[in-house]
């Protein structure tokens, strides 16, 4: 069998989601099977993605691979066992009845194994002797010392093959990480084989350099490098290498491990012996219960589809492009710009973007490489960025990049050089052609920003009522002043990021652009020492409450405002008037109840006096006076209680009118 080296790696595509796509191709001699070696943890992806193409027109008869069964389970299938450090006689004794050929000196003995044993030496100095007994064709049982046997052979080809497989399994167990896949052919002829598959791989990384010039002589230059890692067990020699920007769906399916399903045991009724049946005792006349019955073109695009077959030569020709011109001849940027020749072809592949290196790439195993994939002028401008509520009063030196390269730029770290010196670093997210990104790379110590916030008094905007519920809308003007100190008096463009508060509305300015979280305002610093930038917003406050819970003071404020119609004011005035009448009735009832309490107390005092005078002679005149006072008090209490009942009925009527007024209020 031919190892994977006979099918060298021809093409590698690296992705951002931990998968690498590989293509191998080569010539396989007649009668041979191709063998590919993988790590055990790669087998699930290989079995999920493997495609095989025979370019000679022969068909592939099948693909075999090493099982993942444990060694003990594999060895248990064999009719013999080789124990660790056990003598040869233990193995031969398990093969009783098998035919064997023994070569002894110049002769050969053939027969069936009767048994084998280890005979201990008679004296302490003597070693043990391994003996085998064989039944010859003539019917004789002969014993031979295995020490005198130069070679032996099992005559049964099947048994000989089993022994070979047993030993191969033992050998394979020593390298648990390596698993082999075998590609067989249906014809005994030479063939050209192409194999494609995916395996787990480190993600490729991108790193950028942005070269800015202080003057207008040179346009900004963007230089991008792809960092790749060869963690496989073989060299990549002059391979067709591509890197993909994008993250297809990928997952692990456990295809390599054997999967067993627990099955039900089912037998025909007549095949089971009849067992005795025990019936339970019946109670009452109820019925007895019973048991119921039947209680993208050449690219791996994700795990939802297999990768395509090997690339044709005509497809490769479509990706070739001439090297891009470098900028190494520029003396102004010679210290910061790499002298590289970028030779990459790019294309959109569905939702993915491919960078294909025009020259073959060689990366040794367990080595990594940096490969340039872009070096182009790019639209960029320098500016300062200050974000509201920042803990740093100094805005950040930044660059606004517009992707004019025509390519999807993968995300990664970016080093900035300005006027030939290192200026700072930034992180750049992936962005498509025509999109813009802001990158901050340093703090500008020559500019400071201080914030000053102020809120105006609350103003009533509208009041509405429906079904007794009122909705009042209030507003307050919020002013944020950014006080800018231009310490070094340079001309600058400052971008202020003002946080979006979704209950606020801008009233004074229109932002130059807006993100999900901030408005962006551009301020041109003219060189003055101090400048201010004011942002005014209106915050709306909405309040809901039932008219019955609204205070008289609140109603009075609404009526006094110019936000209500005459009809609305009339409704609120009527409600306020009824509430005042109800309050007066409650006060009257309270006063009358107090008078009843006082009269009742006087009644008790007079009754005590009468009781004390009844037993004293000569007090008839005083007794008659107290009796008259008590009668007057009784009459007063009755009159007061009548007044309370009348006032209560009046108040209840007013409450009913108020409730109806509130429920029907609508303005």
- Separation CA 442–CA 399 (nearest Å): 10
* Alpha-helical regions (H) of 367-457: none
The pLDDT of residue 646: 92
At the second CATH level, the architecture of 564-664 is Orthogonal Bundle (1.10)
Q: How confident is residue 314, by pLDDT bands cut at 50, 70 and 90?
A: very low
- pLDDT score of 426: 92
| CATH architecture under which domain 71-121+128-185 falls | Roll (2.30)
Q: What are the structure tokens assigned to 241, written together?
A: 């290498």
Please return the burial class of 253, using the count of CB atoms within 10 Å of its CB with bins 0-12, 13-18 and 19+. Answer: exposed
Same fold, 71-121+128-185 and 564-664: no
The interaxial angle of helices 566-613 and 620-664, nearest 10 deg, is: 160
In 10 A of CB 85, how many CB atoms? 4
Across 285-289, 440-444, 543-547, least confident range: 285-289
pTM comes to: 0.61
**Hey, what are 353's tokens?**
């973007």
Which residue has better confidence, 181 or 340? 181
Q: What is the pLDDT of residue 602?
A: 85
Give the pLDDT of residue 397. Answer: 92
pLDDT 10s digits, 398-436: 999 999 998 889 889 999 998 888 999 999 988 889 999
Burial code of 14-26, b = ≥16 C-beta within 10 A, e = fewer?
Answer: bbbeebbbbbbbb
Please write down the HEC assignment for all residues of 173-220.
Answer: HCCCCEEEEEEEECCCCCEEEEEEEEEECCCCEEEEEEEECCCCCCCC
Model confidence pLDDT, tens digit, residues 182-228 = 888 767 777 888 999 999 999 999 999 999 875 556 789 999 999 99
Give the start-to-end residue ranges of the domains of the chain: 71-121+128-185, 449-549, 564-664
The predicted pLDDT at position 176 comes to: 56
User: CA dihedral in degrees (654, 655, 659, 664; nearest 10)?
Assistant: 10
User: From the CB of residue 508, how many other CB atoms can be counted at a distance below 10 Å?
Assistant: 11
Encoded tokens for 549: 């819970």
Task: Give yes or no for a contact between 63 and 196, defined as CB atoms under 8 angstroms apart.
Answer: no
Q: Is the pLDDT of residue 480 over 50?
A: yes
- Residues with Cβ within 8 Å of 549's Cβ and at least 6 positions away in sequence, in order, are none
Per-residue pLDDT band for 345 (boundaries 50, 70, 90) equals confident
- 228 beta partners: 369
Q: What are the distances in angstroms from CA 97 to CA 75, 116, 154, 190?
A: 21, 12, 11, 43
Residue 509 or 171, more confident? 509
The backbone torsions φ and ψ at residue 560, rounded to the nearest 5 degrees and listed phi first, read: -75, -20
| Bridge-based pairing state of the strands 236-245 and 9-14 | parallel
Pairing of the two strands 436-443 and 412-418: unpaired
Q: Encode pLDDT of 25-66 as tens digits.
A: 988 887 788 888 888 888 899 999 999 988 877 777 778 887
Q: Of the segments 20-34, 172-186, 228-242, 318-332, which one has the largest average pLDDT value? A: 228-242
Whole-number Å distance between alpha carbons of 563 and 560:
9
Query: How many helices (H) and strands (E) would you count in the chain?
Result: 8, 32
| Predicted confidence band of residue 614 (pLDDT cuts 50, 70, 90) | low
Asked if residue 334 has pLDDT above 70, the reply is: no
Extract the tokens encoding 70: 């444990």
Mean pLDDT is lowest, of 32-41, 223-232, 339-348, 385-394, for 339-348
pLDDT of residue 664 exceeding 80, the answer is yes
Q: Are 547 and 470 in contact (CB under 8 A)?
A: yes
* Cα gap 595→139, rounded to integer Å: 141
């Amino acid at each position: 069998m031919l190892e994977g080296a006979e099918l060298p790696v021809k093409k590698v595509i690296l992705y951002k989601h931990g998968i690498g796509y590989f293509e191998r191709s080569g010539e396989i001699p007649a009668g041979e099977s191709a063998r590919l070696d993988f790590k055990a943890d790669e087998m699930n992806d290989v079995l999920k993605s493997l495609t095989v193409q025979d370019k000679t027109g022969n068909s592939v008869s099948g693909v075999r691979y090493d099982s993942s069964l444990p060694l003990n389970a594999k060895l248990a299938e064999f009719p013999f066992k080789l124990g660790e450090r056990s003598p040869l006689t233990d193995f031969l004794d398990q093969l009783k009845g098998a035919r064997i050929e023994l070569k002894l000196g110049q002769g050969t003995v053939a027969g069936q194994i009767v048994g084998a044993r280890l005979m201990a030496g008679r004296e302490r100095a003597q070693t043990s002797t391994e003996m085998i007994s064989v039944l010859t064709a003539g019917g004789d049982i002969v014993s031979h010392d295995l020490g005198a046997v130069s070679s032996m052979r099992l005559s049964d080809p099947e048994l000989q093959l089993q022994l070979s497989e047993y030993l191969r399994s033992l050998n394979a167990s020593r390298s648990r990480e390596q698993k082999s896949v075998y590609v067989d052919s249906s014809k005994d002829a030479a063939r050209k084989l192409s194999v494609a598959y995916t395996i787990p791989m480190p993600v490729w990384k991108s790193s950028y350099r942005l070269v800015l010039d202080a003057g207008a002589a040179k346009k900004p230059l963007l230089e991008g490098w792809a960092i790749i890692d060869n963690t496989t067990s073989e060299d990549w020699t002059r391979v067709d290498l591509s890197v993909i920007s994008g993250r297809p769906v990928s997952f692990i399916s456990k295809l390599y491990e054997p999967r067993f399903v627990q099955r039900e045991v089912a037998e025909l009724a007549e095949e089971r012996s009849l067992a005795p049946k025990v019936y339970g005792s019946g109670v009452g006349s109820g019925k007895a219960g019973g048991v119921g019955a039947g209680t993208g073109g050449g690219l791996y695009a994700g795990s939802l589809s297999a990768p395509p077959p090997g690339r044709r030569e005509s497809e490769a020709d479509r990706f070739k492009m001439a090297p891009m011109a470098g900028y190494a001849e520029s003396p102004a940027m010679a210290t910061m710009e790499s002298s590289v020749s970028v030779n990459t072809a790019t294309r959109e592949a569905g939702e993915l973007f491919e960078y294909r290196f025009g020259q073959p790439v060689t990366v040794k195993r367990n080595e990594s490489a940096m490969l340039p994939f872009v070096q182009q002028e790019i639209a960029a401008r320098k500016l300062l960025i200050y974000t509201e509520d920042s803990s740093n009063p100094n805005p950040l030196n930044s660059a606004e990049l517009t992707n004019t390269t025509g390519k999807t730029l993968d995300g990664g770290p970016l080093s900035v050089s300005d006027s030939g010196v290192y200026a700072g670093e930034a992180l750049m997210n992936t962005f498509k052609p025509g999109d813009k990104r802001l990158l901050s790379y340093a703090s500008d110590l020559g500019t400071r920003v201080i914030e000053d916030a102020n809120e105006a008094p609350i103003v009533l905007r509208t009041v509405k009522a429906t079904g007794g519920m009122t909705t009042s809308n209030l507003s307050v003007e919020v002013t944020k002043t950014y006080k800018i100190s231009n310490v070094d008096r340079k001309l600058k463009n400052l971008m202020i990021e003002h946080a979006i508060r979704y209950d606020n509305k801008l009233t004074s300015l229109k932002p130059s652009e807006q993100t999900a979280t901030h408005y962006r305002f551009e301020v041109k610093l003219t060189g003055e020492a101090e400048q201010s930038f004011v942002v005014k917003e209106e915050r709306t406050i909405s309040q809901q409450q039932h008219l019955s819970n609204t205070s008289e003071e609140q109603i009075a404020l609404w009526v006094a405002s110019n936000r209500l119609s005459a009809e609305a004011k009339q409704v609120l005035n009527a409600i306020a008037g009824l509430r005042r009448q109800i309050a007066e009735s409650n006060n009257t009832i309270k006063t009358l109840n107090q008078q009843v309490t006082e009269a009742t107390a006087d009644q008790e005092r007079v009754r005590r006096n009468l009781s004390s005078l009844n037993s004293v002679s000569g007090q008839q005149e005083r007794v008659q006076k107290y009796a008259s006072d008590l009668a007057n008090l009784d009459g007063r209490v009755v009159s007061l209680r009548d007044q309370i009942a009348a006032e209560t009925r009046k108040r209840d009527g007013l409450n009913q009118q108020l409730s109806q007024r509130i429920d029907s209020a609508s303005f």
